[in-house]
Structure 1
């Protein structure tokens, strides 16, 4: 028998002993992010109502106009409610060996990225982010074409602190 094969050991891990990310205390994002989401939703709603007005102007059947208007209104009421519920579920946490990002309330998604996979982090700010005084932190891993985690709605100072903390963690892991 091959001597290398004799040294091979692959013990099963006790799944109950693994750390549970659900027990982590998540930090929430700024409530200004809700304002940004609602502004974006409102602008989109305005464009759709203008389009509906154009249809109405060109003599669309009043019953069809009313139906389309009702569907758009229900969709946007749901969207504003969705924005509010989404803000309540957004959360992030930095642990000793990884960063965790949680989002979604209908479909929950939690991403855990170990620092030894992180390539770099960056901060981005769009027009509404600058107006509202918030930032987004983007965390990139090897092999990805975009950021693997984007944490929106952070106060700029907190985004900078998190970016620097991640930079320190990944530089310590490399040495």
Structure 2
């Protein structure tokens, strides 16, 4: 018998004994991220209302304009409510062997990336991020064209600390 085949084993795991990621204590992002999302929504709303005004000027009848205005208003009320609920659902945790990121309240999504898969992490700040004093942490793994996790709305100091902690973890895993 082949010695390699003799050493191979593939035991079944007891699924009940696996750790539950839901029991992780997630950290929340800054409430300033809600301000950023609402500013972006407000700008979009302003553009749509200006467009509606132009259509009104171009002889759109009152019934059509009223229906469009009602649809836009309901959509934006939903969008502002969605921004609020989304902020409440965002959370991240850095554990000994991985990073966990959760988001979504209607459709929940949780991403867990082990440190041995992480290639690098970067910090990004857009115009609104700089004005509001927040940052986003991007975590990249092998084989991806973009970041696998982007944690928005972090305090810049926390983003730097997380990036450095990830760098230390991935450098330990390399050796």
Please give the TM-score of this superposition, normalised by the length of structure 2: 0.98
- Deviation for aligned residue 1:135: 0.2
- Unmatched tracts of structure 2, length 5 or more: none
Q: Which residue of 2 aligns with 1:157?
A: 157
Tell me, what secondary structure is at the counterpart of 2:50?
A: helix
Q: Give a deviation string over 1:1-30, Cα, whole Å, max 9, x none.
A: 444323321111111111111000000000
- Which consecutive aligned stretches of 4+ in structure 1 deviate over 6 angstroms post-superposition? none
Which position in structure 2 is the counterpart of 1:7?
Answer: 7
Q: Deviations over 1:93-143 (max 9, x none)?
A: 000000000101011000000000000000000000000000000000000
For 1:8-157, list aligned pairs within 5 A: 8-157=8-157
Structure 1 residue 60: deviation in Å? 1.1
Q: What is the aligned-residue RMSD (CA, Å)?
A: 0.8
* Count of paired positions: 175
Residue deviations 1:18-74 (CA, integer Å, cap 9, x gap) = 111100000000000000000000000000011111111111121111111000000
1:169 corresponds in structure 2 to 169
TM-score (norm 1): 0.98
Note the residue ranges of structure 1 that are not aligned, 5 or more in a row. Answer: none
